[in-house]
Structure 1
């Protein structure tokens, strides 16, 4: 059984997706899988997130699917029911983290300073989201954190083709979360060929 960290490290880039229509879930999943990125972090910023995850999970059982922007225990339950592999939260909420641990689902909470890293470690977590990456000091801040703490990071927020190599060059970085290859307007307009090309370019760039 491949661990979540191993899967993230092999993928290198995790597309962070806001999906507005459930019917887009299957063509979106196909564009990702067919172009070498069999993964998705579907954010709970839209009303149909849980339903879209469930559709994607059924159609693409081998995909690595996470639920992003999870803020409440209710959303954790919805994500688990939809079949996610892991939960991602923008910040570090001990209540949400503990709820995920009790439910047996992996959670990657957001941190951006030493105190939050230590609080996460205190709860047994060793894989964390560095968010928002660029506004929080970017590569230099992350290097400072990794010099002190034995944890793995998934930087997200301001990561793009221009700087993804800088983040991935840091030994403790498993993968980067990004939106540049899954623009919401392309999803909303069903421009799957263009989106697929962006995905293919992203995969080629990091491999």
Structure 2
């Protein structure tokens, strides 16, 4: 299963689109096969995102728009952490997995806040395609307290409660962060201009 897909991509790199995301879902994948797939990916396809939920494997090949959004979100959040003097630990797209729960995820962006931890406090998923496996189910099994989805030009945020995730209009880790302001700059066609303007807005708000 794993070798066939990887070999196919190596033989036909044109199957990977620069413009749009491509997503593959494979059912009935054992935990051992999932781990073997991650090992086989290695450094050949570092940009891929792999999610696993109770035997279902989802592989996302991010397109250009996806990667630009991911990079903008990460960069702007780092500026917010710096300007507000919030201690942070950037974990990027680290693979997080828990065999006992049969769950694994590779968020687009992830951070621990205030202290470093095994799993992130905030996981961000850039959504460019419909469908796919339920990523909140994955993150609940990993006990990630806050999950952000970037979709349709805005953020949708979920907080983990005792009975599952609850949608919210703000971040509990960054309660003073203006999400609308952040979203505006994530969408800017000029990343440098966005960084300068976002930093300036934060400093003004802190005065």
Larger Rg, first or second structure (1 or 2): 2
Please say whether Structure 1 and Structure 2 have the same fold, judged by a TM-score greater than 0.5: no
Q: TM-score, normalised by structure 2?
A: 0.31
Higher strand share: 2
Q: TM-score, normalised by structure 1?
A: 0.31
